[in-house]
Amino acid sequence: MSGHMNLTLKVWRQKNSQTPGKFVTYKAEEISPDMSFLEMLDVVNEKLVKTQEDPIQFDHDCREGICGMCSLMINGEPHGPKRATTTCQLHMRSFKDGETIVIEPWRAAAFPVVKDLAVDRSAFDRIQQAGGYVSVGTGGVPDANEILIPKTIADEAFNSATCIGCGACVAACKNASAMLFVSAKVSQYAMLPQGQTERYERAKAMVNQMDDEGFGSCTNTYACEAQCPKEIKVTNIARMNREYFNAEFIKG
């Protein structure tokens, strides 16, 4: 078909985290350049189902760049070649006709493979549960405008809150560090009045949980920022380090 693409896919297939995996080659034929990357995988899976083969398992949900589920390493880059783009928002026009595309899951001990390209990222959930809450009064609800927040602070907190927890920062880091993710979650609460009650306890609890989950240390290569689809800044890591230092050595 005119204008369509024929591609070769080298896809990581693995039954579970206890069994070894391997790359398997598939043909993706007559792919529209306007398809998203996940739609292309849907087409491949439809053909596999018709031939009674096991379809490729991958995570997906909203397909609108919001949920953070589409965790794929594409040609060695988290979410593929486009910056500030999730896998579900990546279109096939980013590739060339006849190209070979290598597709892998996130590679991190804290993200064990569930099957094929899907990994268990519940470690992120446990980190957030360790400190991602705020205490509130049970009396009358104050008017929102009574709590004045400078725009620069509100904007910075909002930028941190845009983290979707996809894990690209972990996949990009040679030590599989989760510092960018954790720092974004710490920052979005630490800068707002509502988050002050648990401010220092939160930083300490979340960092300790991150270490318990087995994530590596920050390597200061900025790979996490470069590969983050929401462009979370490494300045959050500096803020989290200050919060943790205050919790550990000053606030006690």
CA-to-CA distance for 247 and 141, rounded, in angstroms? 30
**What confidence tier does 1 reach under pLDDT thresholds 50, 70, 90?**
very low
Residue 173 C-alpha from the chain's centroid: 12
Judged against a pLDDT cut of 60, whether residue 2 lies above it is answered with no
Judged against a pLDDT cut of 90, whether residue 152 lies above it is answered with yes
Judged against a pLDDT cut of 70, whether residue 252 lies above it is answered with no
Collapsed DSSP state (helix, strand, coil) of residue 22: strand
Instruction: Kindly write down the DSSP assignment for every residue of 131-166, as one continuous string.
Output: H------SSPPPPGGGS---HHHHHHHHHHHT----
pLDDT of residue 147: 78
pLDDT of residue 173: 97
Beta bridge partners of 102: 10
